[in-house]
Amino acid sequence: MFKQIMTLARGRVSDGSQSILDANSMSLLRQQIRDAAQGVGKSRKAVAVIMAHAEREKASLTRVESQIADLENRALRALENGREDLASEAAEAIAKLEIEHSTTQKAIATYETQIERLKVCLTESEHCLRDMKQGQYLAEAKDKAQRLSGLTPSGTNNDLKDAATTLKNLQKRQEHADATAAALVELSIDDCTEDLVERMAAVGCGTSIKPDASSVMERLKNTASK
């Protein structure tokens, strides 16, 4: 008997909770859509931040390219004037700039790839939010009409539950987009494989894949001799 009483009590609590949710379905839906709209706004801002980072890297790339060109011209003149010491210093600086140039190019490519993917995700979220708002307006209109007529069709609550499920899925996608955007801001552009190759080259295991002062100097000499 006691077990049956406890089961009945739990059933009444569950029924009461469901009744509260049913009675406040419209308020719940409106708040969920407001939350979803805020999530879309955060995603849009995150994409803008990543785009700003990409533009900054592009400006840096242009600056490095200008510095390399200027130093190469100056190094060639130094060789023409017999100042190989100055040309050697320029070659070393050029080698460092070329490494920075390569790294910056990789960063830009990574940013652009992620920006395109996030734009697609953001567009889908915006479309879904728009559809949810349209569904909200329709549900509110039906709710008002039913309250005025004193009717409450059994399918109304099911429609609202379906809308809440759709909204939940939307929020999950937006949370994923936010997490991805946050990770991109702190994205590392280090390449472990290249680092390993360079460390092995440094101890005589093969040749280096990065520019060094000697290779740049050789290139400048070949250019000057033409």
Q: What is the pLDDT of residues 19-29, one digit of tens each?
A: 555 556 777 77
What integer pLDDT is reported at residue 204 of this predicted model? 61
What integer pLDDT is reported at residue 190 of this predicted model? 47
Give how far Cα 102 sits from Cα of 53, 70, 88, 191, Å. 17, 18, 21, 11
Phi, psi dihedrals of residue 186, rounded to the nearest 5°: -100, 20
> Residue 206 in 3-state DSSP?
coil
Give how far Cα 80 sits from Cα of 67, 105, 202, Å. 20, 32, 32
Burial grade of 147 (CB within 10 A; 0-12, 13-18, 19 or more): exposed
What integer pLDDT is reported at residue 189 of this predicted model? 43
pLDDT in tens, 68-87: 999 999 999 989 999 899 98
* Cα distance between residue 132 and residue 62, in whole Å: 45
* Cα distance between residue 150 and residue 142, in whole Å: 12
For residue 160, give the H/E element and its range.
helix 155-185
What integer pLDDT is reported at residue 225 of this predicted model? 75
Helices (H), the chain: 2-23, 25-80, 84-149, 155-185, 192-202, 213-225
Closest CA to 44 of 187, 183, 174: 174
Quote the radius of gyration of the chain (alpha carbons, Å).
Answer: 32
Does residue 43 contact residue 122 with C-beta atoms inside 8 Å? Answer: yes
What integer pLDDT is reported at residue 59 of this predicted model? 93
Residues in the chain with pLDDT values less than 50: 8, 13, 16, 185-190
